[in-house]
Amino acid sequence: MAEKNKDYYINEDGNYVFTEAYHLERGFCCENECLHCPWNYGQDEGQDCNSK
């Protein structure tokens, strides 16, 4: 089960935002351009989501 402040937080708009720690624990990129994506999917041109 996800733990608040470690795995996610709720932003000022009331949206749940997953942390980098959560993504790394999950172990794969979902390719949804997440804000804290450790694979930088959609954030950095030329970066492959499988590079970490």
Span 26-45, average pLDDT = 88
Under 8 Å between Cβ of 22 and 29:
no
CB atoms near residue 2 (< 10 Å): 12
pLDDT of 43 strictly over 80 = no
Q: Which band of pLDDT confidence, cut at 50, 70 and 90, is reported for residue 48?
A: low
pTM: 0.73
pLDDT of 52 strictly over 60 = no
Q: Which band of pLDDT confidence, cut at 50, 70 and 90, is reported for residue 20?
A: very high
- Per the structure, the complete domain to which residue 13 belongs is given by 1-52
Under 8 Å between Cβ of 7 and 19:
yes
For the chain, how many structural domains are there in total? 1
The per-residue pLDDT of the chain, averaged, comes to: 87
